[in-house]
Chain A
Amino acid sequence: MEDSTSLGQETENQQLGEAARPGEEEAAAPPRDPGPQSSGPWEAERAPDAAEPRPGSSRTRSPGSRGRAAGHGAVSPPPPQPRKPLRALARQDLGAAQQPDGAVSGAPDAGTALPDPLGLSTDEKASASGSQSREDTSPPTQQYRSSSTHSQPKELRTGNAQGEDPEPGASETAPSTLEIAVQNAKGYLFQASSKTGLNLYDHLSNVLTKIFDERPENAVDIIENISQKVKMAHFSKKLDTLQNENEMLPTYEIAERQKALFLQGHLEGADQELEDEIDLFSQAENSLPNVMESAFYFEQAGLGLGTDETYRIFLALKQLTDTHPVQRCRFWGKILGLEMNYIVAEVEIREGEDEEEVEEEDVAEAEERYNGESEADKDEEDELPKSFYKPPQAIPKEESRTGANKYVYFVCNEPGRPWVKLPSVTPAQIVTARKIKKFFTGRLDAPIVSYPPFPGNESNYLRAQIARISAGTHVSPLGFYQFGEEEGEEEEDVESGRDSFEENPDFEGIQVIDLVESLSNWVHHVQHILPQGRCTWFNPIPKHEEEEEEDEEKEEEKGEEPDYVEQEVGPPLLTPISEDLEIQNIPAWTTRLSSSLIPQYATAVLRSNLWPGAYAFSTGKLGM
């Protein structure tokens, strides 16, 4: 502001300087007499104006000091002067040259007196003449004036001596000097930046246009951000087409896949097909559960994935039942992983459809045979001492559809992606899974690095955990399931326990209150997994006796070892959960009523403390 070239400019600038400085001081100092001080530099500018005798002496510095004094000091009664015109001109200067200055921040006028007619300013100027008593009334006019000049910054009313008296003598040259000054200022503003090619004039006009278009609240607080945004807007257009494409791609992919989910029902959209489908379902058992209904009840308990996500899962389950021979399926839950999550469906395959299992067994048998052969070779050489250690025989996994492998589980990362079947679980995997604690990454083929080493990759670990969770937390109200009347004959001396149940048609439901108060009203309906890793006890000992004769010697030497392994017994099926062991002095389950405000329609919610995230609910009518 002080960097003026011409002398005239210098004077004006000096005034501006004083205006700015006293303005700052005034802003800090308590409000003074001449009207509301809030209009900062404008007011201050007026004070020096009023204080110094304008005509002729404006060139010298003394008014500067007096102006400063006036700004500092008390209220010096401003002598009536034709200060109007110069004030107007000076104001225009301020309008022009002070804009790049931060002085706009001081004036709240900028934010407030926006709707000001141009005409008003000139009228006010004409009317605000003369007396210092006008000090009080003129502040509003001053504000209008300042804001009006502020609002038309580009319109430099250089020649705006409408109704102004050109000052005698000294001011005759002033307009021309003023003009030069203004044009210099404008030229400065138009100077293009060497780095960016923008110029201040255009930038300020853009910023102010944006402010007036948007009219944000407290614009003065965010003026720098607005300015930055305007600058950024210059550059963003070029990169639009390139960058956004890549970024949004995964969103579109997922959306496409999910669209396929929604459309699958309409592929062969004839009405006949629809009827057929419904007929099929009514005749056979309806394999698809009503996920939305369960989701509603879970939501009462405060659980849920969001309605639309649940609906998509619903559709994905439907897709599963359409593509695979599924007898019954159920939405088991969601497991969170590091990179991706798993959505798990528990499925009961129709009988006769599980040929894949057979292949795996063949492979296992082949391996055993191979091991037996290699041992025979060693015996012939007879040099090195043979180790008598026989690794404990691997406990065979349970047949499909029994015990831990009763259900088949499918997982997918997101509804819309294809379902992947998880392999059956082996007892060794369950035993190891009990000893380790690892996060899931979300990729089924990820290796599990742990100690003790886990036999398998993430899909096996996932399956083992699912088996453990199901065995531990799938419960139902007492009486909902009952044992079938024909009990299977018990084999040999092994108590296999009952492992089948069916729905009780006479079940009438238990009151919600009862369900919440007593844990004995709930029973496990999945078999407990023994420490061995299976649900039914497998005795490894008898097999030892059946091995080849060569090994008899070893057996005798091993005779010190107990050849009777205790049978592991677990709680039988349909045990009430009140028998569950406590964990660190807290009960294994927590019961809650879903709503304490309206108990008559509430559901009973059961939360497992052992497996956080496992919930069961019952409505008290026909239990779910």
Chain B
Amino acid sequence: MDAESLLLSLELAAGSGQGLSPDRRAALLTSLLLVKRDYRYDRVLFWGRILGIVADYYIAQGLVEDQLAPRKTLYSLNCMEWSLLPPATEEMAAQVAVVKGRFMGDPSHEYEHTEFQKTTAEGEKTFEEDVVVHIKEETRLVSVIDQIDKAVAIIPRGALFKTPFGPVNVNRTFEGLPLSEARKLSSYFHFREPVGLKNKTLLEKADLDPSLDFLDSLEYDIPKGSWSIQMERGNSLVVLRSLLWPGLTFFHSPRTRNHGYIYVGTGEKNMDLPFML
């Protein structure tokens, strides 16, 4: 959620039950402003909170002018001092895939994972060694945030538009989704580089508006039904919750510009999803 409208966004996202305590909120309001100034970001988003055993991580992201450019992620343990996280890479994702369980809450904690490795010595003997691989919690944090962003960060249709030169900008004339569209999954897009657009048939592409429909919509997410759409307060607030990453809440007031998402959870993917539906 945008740091500018933090209070309102927290209020709107409160339906999920998890929010922020008053002292954290106050700390965030101050510190995110300073982050924006120091790092010269165009926009700062408060991404959410990852619950750990000993402590919680508070995550923020900074955006530059181009909304789809890679974002810088910062984390903090007390909402005041922010540290930059390294960008996520494929190797990190592979490394982290073996770690299961909750986050500890200590960034320097190392997970140990023993792997069998066969090493061939000079002769014909092959040794099987148990190699203990250490994975830092920071790496895991980076990778999990990246996965969550790629999988479930969403934006309503029309909030961003693509200019012919390439950069993607915030649409200042976005007035909110109309009510008839707000309940459909197709009006929400993934807030990341599109993956499935090229696979669409020509017929489908003909209906798209190239400046607005340049991202993947939620309709084609697998498994189907991994999003729960609810209208709260009658029809004046639409809330989408991800079932794949439980804890991600997206809210939007139709016909207004307010929208945003926040993740408050343990940072674990719900692998049982197909059985639970």
Tell me the A residues contacting B by CB distance below 8 Å.
Answer: 216, 222, 225-226, 229, 243, 247-255, 299-306, 309, 334, 336-341, 437-439, 584-587, 590, 594-598, 607, 609, 612-613
Contact between chains at B14 and A590 (CB < 8 Å) = no
User: Besides A339-B230, A438-B275, A590-B54, 9 other CB < 8 A contacts?
Assistant: A216-B172, A248-B234, A302-B20, A338-B225, A341-B230, A439-B276, A586-B101, A597-B23, A613-B18
A309 contact set on B, CB distance < 8 A: 14-15
Contact between chains at B234 and A254 (CB < 8 Å) = yes
B276 contact set on A, CB distance < 8 A: 437-439
Contact between chains at A585 and B19 (CB < 8 Å) = no
Contact between chains at A305 and B17 (CB < 8 Å) = yes
Contact between chains at A229 and B173 (CB < 8 Å) = yes
B19 contact set on A, CB distance < 8 A: 299, 302-304, 306
Q: Which of B218-247 contact A (CB under 8 A)?
A: 225, 228, 230-231, 233-236, 241, 243
Q: What residue in chain B is nearest A306 (Cβ atoms)?
A: B14
Contact between chains at A586 and B179 (CB < 8 Å) = no
Q: What residue in chain A is nearest B18 (Cβ atoms)?
A: A303
Cβ contact of B233, chosen from A254, A437, A586, cutoff 8 A: A254
**In the complex where A309-B14, A339-B228 touch, is A594 in contact with B21 (Cβ < 8 A)?**
yes
Q: How far is A229 from B78 in the complex, measured between Cα atoms in Å? A: 45
User: Shortest CB–CB separation between residue B174 and chain A, in angstroms?
Assistant: 9
Contact between chains at B21 and A251 (CB < 8 Å) = no
Cβ contact of B21, chosen from A222, A302, A613, cutoff 8 A: A302
Q: How far is A381 from B168 in the complex, measured between Cα atoms in Å? A: 82
Contact between chains at A299 and B101 (CB < 8 Å) = no
Q: What residue in chain B is nearest A339 (Cβ atoms)?
A: B230
8 A-B interface contacts by CB (under 8 A): A225-B173, A300-B21, A334-B17, A338-B225, A438-B275, A586-B102, A590-B54, A607-B51
Contact between chains at A251 and B233 (CB < 8 Å) = yes
**In the complex where A253-B234, A300-B22, A303-B17 touch, is A587 in contact with B53 (Cβ < 8 A)?**
yes
Contact between chains at B53 and A338 (CB < 8 Å) = no
Cβ contact of A247, chosen from B24, B180, B233, B266, cutoff 8 A: B180
B83 interface residue per 8 A CB criterion: no
Contact between chains at A304 and B78 (CB < 8 Å) = no
Q: How far is A300 from B102 in the complex, measured between Cα atoms in Å? A: 23
Q: What residue in chain B is nearest A595 (Cβ atoms)?
A: B23
The 9 closest A-B pairs by CB, nearest first: A251-B234, A306-B14, A254-B234, A247-B179, A225-B173, A302-B21, A251-B235, A250-B234, A338-B228
User: Shortest CB–CB separation between residue B274 and chain A, in angstroms?
Assistant: 11
Contact between chains at A437 and B236 (CB < 8 Å) = no
Contact between chains at A250 and B53 (CB < 8 Å) = no
B179 contact set on A, CB distance < 8 A: 247-248
User: Shortest CB–CB separation between residue A131 and chain B, in angstroms?
Assistant: 41
Q: Which of B1-56 contact A (CB under 8 A)?
A: 11, 14-24, 51, 53-54
Q: Which of B249-277 contact A (CB under 8 A)?
A: 265-266, 272, 275-277
B20 contact set on A, CB distance < 8 A: 302
Contact between chains at B277 and A585 (CB < 8 Å) = no
Q: How far is A255 from B14 in the complex, measured between Cα atoms in Å? A: 19
Q: How far is A208 from B23 in the complex, measured between Cα atoms in Å? A: 48
**In the complex where A253-B234, A299-B22, A309-B14 touch, is A336 in contact with B241 (Cβ < 8 A)?**
yes
- Identify the interface centre among A222, A253, A303: most chain B CB within 10 Å of its CB: A303
Contact between chains at B15 and A306 (CB < 8 Å) = yes
Q: What residue in chain A is nearest B10 (Cβ atoms)?
A: A306
Q: How far is A216 from B172 in the complex, measured between Cα atoms in Å? A: 10
Q: What residue in chain A is nearest B234 (Cβ atoms)?
A: A251
Q: How large is the interface on B (under 10, 10 to 19, 20 to 34, 35 or more residues)?
A: 35 or more
B178 contact set on A, CB distance < 8 A: 247
Q: What residue in chain B is nearest A251 (Cβ atoms)?
A: B234
Q: What residue in chain A is nearest B182 (Cβ atoms)?
A: A247
Contact between chains at B101 and A585 (CB < 8 Å) = yes
**In the complex where A248-B235, A254-B233 touch, is A305 in contact with B23 (Cβ < 8 A)?**
no
- Identify the interface centre among A250, A334, A598: most chain B CB within 10 Å of its CB: A250
B16 contact set on A, CB distance < 8 A: 336
What sequence of 0s and 1s flags, for each residue 80-100 of chain B, a beta carbon within 8 Å of any chain A beta carbon?
Answer: 000000000000000000001
Contact between chains at B18 and A251 (CB < 8 Å) = no
Cβ contact of A302, chosen from B24, B171, B172, B241, cutoff 8 A: B24
Contact between chains at A613 and B234 (CB < 8 Å) = no
**In the complex where A439-B277, A586-B102 touch, is A226 in contact with B173 (Cβ < 8 A)?**
yes
Q: How far is A337 from B102 in the complex, measured between Cα atoms in Å? A: 24
Q: How far is A598 from B171 in the complex, measured between Cα atoms in Å? A: 42
Cβ contact of B15, chosen from A225, A301, A305, cutoff 8 A: A305
Contact between chains at A584 and B173 (CB < 8 Å) = no
Q: Which of B160-198 contact A (CB under 8 A)?
A: 171-173, 178-180
Contact between chains at A595 and B21 (CB < 8 Å) = yes
Q: What residue in chain B is nearest A243 (Cβ atoms)?
A: B180
- Identify the interface centre among B22, B235, B243, B266: most chain A CB within 10 Å of its CB: B235
- Identify the interface centre among A341, A598, A609: most chain B CB within 10 Å of its CB: A341
Q: What residue in chain A is nearest B78 (Cβ atoms)?
A: A596
Contact between chains at B17 and A250 (CB < 8 Å) = no
A255 contact set on B, CB distance < 8 A: 234
Q: What residue in chain B is nearest A310 (Cβ atoms)?
A: B14
Q: What residue in chain B is nearest A333 (Cβ atoms)?
A: B17
Cβ contact of A590, chosen from B24, B53, B234, B265, cutoff 8 A: B53
**In the complex where A254-B234, A338-B228, A596-B78 touch, is A222 in contact with B172 (Cβ < 8 A)?**
yes
Contact between chains at B266 and A612 (CB < 8 Å) = yes
Q: What residue in chain A is nearest B24 (Cβ atoms)?
A: A302
Contact between chains at A584 and B272 (CB < 8 Å) = no
Contact between chains at A439 and B243 (CB < 8 Å) = yes
Q: How far is A303 from B68 in the complex, measured between Cα atoms in Å? A: 32
Q: How far is A612 from B51 in the complex, measured between Cα atoms in Å? A: 10
Q: What residue in chain B is nearest A229 (Cβ atoms)?
A: B173
Contact between chains at A304 and B180 (CB < 8 Å) = no
Q: How far is A472 from B241 in the complex, measured between Cα atoms in Å? A: 26
Contact between chains at B235 and A247 (CB < 8 Å) = yes
B15 contact set on A, CB distance < 8 A: 305-306, 309, 341
Q: How far is A439 from B171 in the complex, measured between Cα atoms in Å? A: 36
Q: How far is A594 from B24 in the complex, measured between Cα atoms in Å? A: 10
Q: How far is A597 from B25 in the complex, measured between Cα atoms in Å? A: 13
A584 contact set on B, CB distance < 8 A: 100-101
Q: How far is A609 from B172 in the complex, measured between Cα atoms in Å? A: 43
Q: How far is A250 from B235 in the complex, measured between Cα atoms in Å? A: 6
Q: How far is A216 from B231 in the complex, measured between Cα atoms in Å? A: 33
- Identify the interface centre among B100, B101, B233, B265: most chain A CB within 10 Å of its CB: B233
User: Shortest CB–CB separation between residue B58 and chain A, in angstroms?
Assistant: 11
Q: What residue in chain B is nearest A607 (Cβ atoms)?
A: B51
B241 contact set on A, CB distance < 8 A: 336
Cβ contact of A304, chosen from B14, B172, B236, B243, cutoff 8 A: B14
Q: What residue in chain B is nearest A598 (Cβ atoms)?
A: B23
Q: How far is A301 from B235 in the complex, measured between Cα atoms in Å? A: 30
- Identify the interface centre among A255, A302, A304: most chain B CB within 10 Å of its CB: A302
Q: How far is A578 from B153 in the complex, measured between Cα atoms in Å? A: 38
User: Shortest CB–CB separation between residue A566 and chain B, in angstroms?
Assistant: 31
Q: What residue in chain A is nearest B80 (Cβ atoms)?
A: A597
Q: How far is A598 from B233 in the complex, measured between Cα atoms in Å? A: 36
B228 contact set on A, CB distance < 8 A: 336-339
A247 contact set on B, CB distance < 8 A: 178-180, 235
A590 contact set on B, CB distance < 8 A: 51, 53-54
Q: How far is A586 from B268 in the complex, measured between Cα atoms in Å? A: 15
Q: How far is A610 from B276 in the complex, measured between Cα atoms in Å? A: 18
Contact between chains at A613 and B233 (CB < 8 Å) = no
Q: How far is A3 from B2 in the complex, measured between Cα atoms in Å? A: 50
Contact between chains at A306 and B101 (CB < 8 Å) = no
Q: How far is A90 from B266 in the complex, measured between Cα atoms in Å? A: 70
User: Shortest CB–CB separation between residue A261 and chain B, in angstroms?
Assistant: 14
Q: How far is A482 from B135 in the complex, measured between Cα atoms in Å? A: 47
Contact between chains at A251 and B236 (CB < 8 Å) = yes
- Identify the interface centre among B51, B54, B272: most chain A CB within 10 Å of its CB: B51
A596 contact set on B, CB distance < 8 A: 78
User: Shortest CB–CB separation between residue B150 and chain A, in angstroms?
Assistant: 23
Q: How far is A225 from B172 in the complex, measured between Cα atoms in Å? A: 9
Q: How far is A404 from B234 in the complex, measured between Cα atoms in Å? A: 35
